[in-house]
Amino acid sequence: MALAFVFEMSYIDTMKKKPNTLLARIKTRISRKHADVILRSDFKDLGDYDQVGRCLLTLIREGTLVKIGQGIYVRAVISPLDNRPALPKSLNTLAQEALKRLDIPTAPTSMERSYNEGRTTQVPAGRVIGVRKRVRRLIGFNGYSLRFERTS
């Protein structure tokens, strides 16, 4: 007479299991982040540079992420107009958040300061970000890129 043992996993046992693939671990880490801006360096401890890059490219193709710069990704939302991935906030806001994560201080541009002080009535377009350090990155989305102005 053969005895059959049934192994049942409890809820706690399922919580202890780690996701198998690198893609699953990256998706889990993205879902736990509160910020919209995600840097490639956030996944440095999970795998090799090339492996992480392939997984991020897969997420871009799925529509989960949008790339706005070298090593800078944004959690995407689906546009109600054309059902394509879009930015959740303005490009200017996301770029400032990315620069903050990269330890690059931002400041108002000269046009923003002139407008706020009442020296001009021309409203700044918002495609220029004032920075206090040199920035060599191109940050943009969908054909629009931002410029950086060195401020003191």
Give the CATH number of the domain where residue 30 resides. 1.10.10
40 plus 106 within the same structural domain: no
pLDDT at 63 over 70: yes
Give pLDDT tens digits for 7-58: 565 666 666 666 589 999 999 999 999 999 999 999 999 989 999 999 999 9
How many whole angstroms separate alpha carbon 104 and alpha carbon 125?
22
How many whole angstroms separate alpha carbon 67 and alpha carbon 49?
16
Asked, for residue 122, whether it belongs to a domain, the answer is yes
H or E element in which residue 78 lies: strand 77-78
94 plus 84 within the same structural domain: no
Q: How many domains does the chain have?
A: 2
pTM for this predicted structure: 0.81
Q: Which of 64, 88, 112 is the last residue of a domain?
A: 88
Query: Would you place residue 125 in the very low, low, confident or very high pLDDT band (cuts 50, 70, 90)?
Result: confident
- What's residue 2's pLDDT? 61
11 plus 84 within the same structural domain: yes
Range of the domain at 112: 89-152
50 plus 121 within the same structural domain: no
How many whole angstroms separate alpha carbon 148 and alpha carbon 130?
6
131 plus 82 within the same structural domain: no
State both tokens at 110: 């000269």
80 plus 98 within the same structural domain: no
Asked, for residue 2, whether it belongs to a domain, the answer is no
- What's residue 124's pLDDT? 85
Quickly count: other Cβ atoms within 10 Å of residue 105's Cβ: 11
Alpha-carbon distances, residue 149 vs 2, 31, 66 (angstroms): 78, 34, 25
